[in-house]
């Protein structure tokens, strides 16, 4: 007999975990709906051609591929086998044509392109589904995890970005976080910074390094930049420019004078000023303008967002940004989109670490009815029906066992109340109502029970 196991990086969710996860999901979903987002679901698998080439080379390596059904070697000829010994990936198109989704953004882009004539733009959708990555698991990093995305497609209005800042604040407050960190930046700001220090190479040579600032500090980032073609003078000028600050008018003016003039600077400052106007809460301490925030800039073209919970030991719990041409690869160009994505699994880990799940770890029912024999058990079933009709969540202990066992069970499951119907109670149409927390109990008429429990 073999012991059953789960694939690496996947987990079961038992009743406790699922109730906690649903709390997170429902909270986010409610906030999204308050901002007018509509639900969308797409299949777990997509055509490999839809997925590949969208996440860079490393992303392609992290895709889970699905082996073709039946004789999956049918399409492979002899020459290919020889080639495959050198480069196994060359076989891939012949043996696999589907893959598991890697995120929710590319499926959204595919959906929008396929249904462009039925949708009303701006198209606002949210999507809460699992995604899969063949990454090596660690704490806060899984191979199957859930994302909660919200995106707006078909407008470049900064009202969307402003909404997302507000959504962040509402979600984190609703989940009970007293401290959270929302960081924003703008791609044009990074371009303007590169121009200011006189760097003309590809922007990613700057961003992939500065994104690691919180991890390896200026010492490490400086070394990496210099090996990427920056002079030590440019590095020290970057060090002065790349600050983090509250998003105040003063800071924006400070940037205006520090950056050298150009198109990127104008674009960035105009966007920042407009976002400020639209978002009164933006200069709260929870929101910062972090010029070193870069993320995977491959497709982001405007504002970038990232959110995390300080001191949780977990990386970011959400990320997002604007991408001007996401649907371009599927043949629909000139459509701008902006979106964010919460990672439920990481939010869960943060909330667990901070003990924020207090209320959900109780049984579904409020009261457990206990009894001694078939006659009193039947009576309990009758009482239970009446209580449920009054909207009280009620359970009848299913087996006929010692009262001790029934109380023990009630205690372990955490019912706030139990009711006992024995010989005496049966004859007098009463019930022993016991508060499991205080231990107090009293005999009450069955007809009064639901009033007392409300």
Partner RNA sequence: GUGGUUGUAGCUCAGUUGGUUAGAGCGCCUGAUUGUGGUUCAGGAGGUCGCCGGUUCGAGCCCGGUCUUCCACCCCA
Q: Is 70 in the site for RNA (CB under 7 A)?
A: no
Query: Cα–Cα distance between 418 and 395 in angstroms, integer?
Result: 9
Separation of alpha carbons 238 and 5, rounded Å: 50
Determine which residue in the list 25, 329, 403, 444 makes contact with RNA, applying CB under 7 A.
403
Q: What are phi and psi of 94, to 5 degrees?
A: -80, -30
Longest dimension (CA), the chain: 93
Segment near RNA (CB under 7 A); pick from 27-35, 141-149, 151-159, 181-189: 141-149
Question: What letter does residue 201 receive in the DSSP assignment?
Answer: S
| Burial of 165 per CB tally in 10 Å (0-12, 13-18, 19+) | buried
Nearer to RNA by C-beta: 278 or 403? 403
Q: Which stretch binds RNA (CB under 7 A): 53-61, 239-247, 250-258, 281-289?
A: 53-61
Query: Quick check: 117 binds RNA (CB under 7 A)?
Result: no
**Which structure tokens are listed for 429?**
């149409």
Work out which of 145, 168, 230, 417 binds RNA, going by CB under 7 A.
Answer: 145
- CA dist., res. 144 & res. 135, Å (int): 10
Q: Which of 46, 191, 345, 395 binds RNA (CB under 7 A)?
A: 345
> In this complex, which beta carbon is closest to RNA, that of residue 56 or of residue 391?
56
Q: Which stretch binds RNA (CB under 7 A): 91-99, 159-167, 245-253, 292-300?
A: 292-300
Nearest to 397 by CA among 375, 376, 377, 374: 377
Contacts of residue 234, defined as CB under 8 A and 6 or more positions apart, other chains included, come to 197, 198, 199, 225
**Rounded distance between C-alpha atoms, residue 64 and residue 303, angstroms:** 30
Question: Between residues 122 and 319, which has the closer beta carbon with respect to RNA?
Answer: 319
Q: Which of 142, 164, 230, 397 binds RNA (CB under 7 A)?
A: 142
- When computed from its CA atoms, the radius of gyration of the chain, rounded to whole angstroms, is 29
Interacting residue with RNA among 45, 134, 170, 360 (CB under 7 A) = 134
Alpha carbon distance 169, 143 (integer Å): 28
Residue 59 within binding range of RNA, rule CB under 7 A = yes
The residues in 229-288 that bind RNA, with binding defined as CB under 7 A, are none
| Contacts to RNA by CB under 7 A | 1, 3, 5-9, 58-59, 61-62, 103, 133-142, 145, 147, 208, 211-212, 215-216, 295-296, 298, 306, 315-319, 341-343, 345-346, 372, 402-405, 407-408, 410-412, 420, 422-425, 432, 434, 436-439, 441
């Amino acid at each position: 007999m073999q012991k059953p196991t789960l694939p690496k990086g996947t987990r079961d969710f038992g009743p406790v975990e699922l109730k906690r996860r649903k709390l997170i999901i429902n909270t986010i979903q409610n906030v999204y709906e308050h901002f007018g987002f509509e639900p969308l679901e797409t299949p777990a698998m997509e055509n490999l051609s839809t997925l590949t080439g969208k996440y860079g080379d490393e992303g392609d390596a992290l895709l889970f591929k699905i082996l073709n059904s039946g004789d999956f070697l049918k399409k492979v000829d002899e020459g290919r086998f020889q080639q495959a010994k050198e480069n196994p990936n060359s076989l891939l198109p012949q043996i696999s044509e589907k893959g598991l989704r890697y995120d929710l953004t590319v499926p959204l882009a595919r959906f929008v392109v396929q249904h462009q004539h039925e949708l009303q733009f701006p198209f606002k959708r949210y999507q809460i589904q699992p995604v899969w990555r063949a990454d090596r698991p660690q704490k806060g990093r899984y191979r199957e995890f859930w994302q909660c995305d919200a995106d707006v497609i078909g407008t470049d209005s900064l009202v969307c970005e402003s909404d997302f800042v507000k959504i962040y604040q509402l979600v984190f407050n609703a989940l009970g976080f007293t401290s959270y960190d929302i960081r924003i930046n703008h791609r044009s700001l990074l371009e303007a910074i590169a121009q200011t220090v006189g760097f003309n190479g590809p922007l990613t040579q700057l961003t992939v390094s500065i994104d690691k600032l919180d991890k390896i500090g200026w010492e490490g980032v400086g070394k990496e930049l210099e090996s990427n073609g920056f002079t030590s003078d440019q590095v020290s000028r970057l060090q002065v420019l790349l600050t983090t600050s509250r998003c105040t008018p003063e800071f924006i003016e400070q940037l205006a004078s520090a950056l050298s003039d150009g198109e990127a600077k104008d674009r960035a400052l105009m966007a920042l000023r407009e976002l400020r106007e639209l978002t009164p809460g933006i200069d709260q301490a929870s929101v910062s303008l972090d010029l070193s925030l870069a993320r995977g800039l491959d497709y982001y073209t405007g504002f970038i967002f990232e959110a995390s919970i300080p001191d949780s030991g977990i990386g970011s719990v959400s990320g997002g940004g604007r991408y001007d041409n996401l649907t371009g690869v599927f043949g629909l160009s000139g459509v701008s989109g902006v979106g964010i994505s919460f990672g439920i699994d990481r939010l869960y880990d943060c909330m667990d670490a901070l003990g924020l799940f207090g209320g959900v770890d109780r049984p579904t029912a409020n009261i457990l009815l206990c009894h001694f024999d078939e006659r009193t058990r039947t009576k309990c079933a009758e009482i239970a029906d009446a209580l449920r009709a009054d909207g009280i969540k009620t359970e009848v202990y299913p087996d006929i066992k010692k009262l001790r066992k029934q109380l023990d069970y009630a205690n372990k499951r955490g019912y706030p109340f139990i009711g006992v119907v024995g010989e005496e109670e049966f004859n007098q149409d009463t019930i022993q109502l016991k508060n499991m927390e205080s231990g107090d109990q009293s005999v009450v008429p069955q007809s009064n029970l639901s009033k007392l429990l409300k």
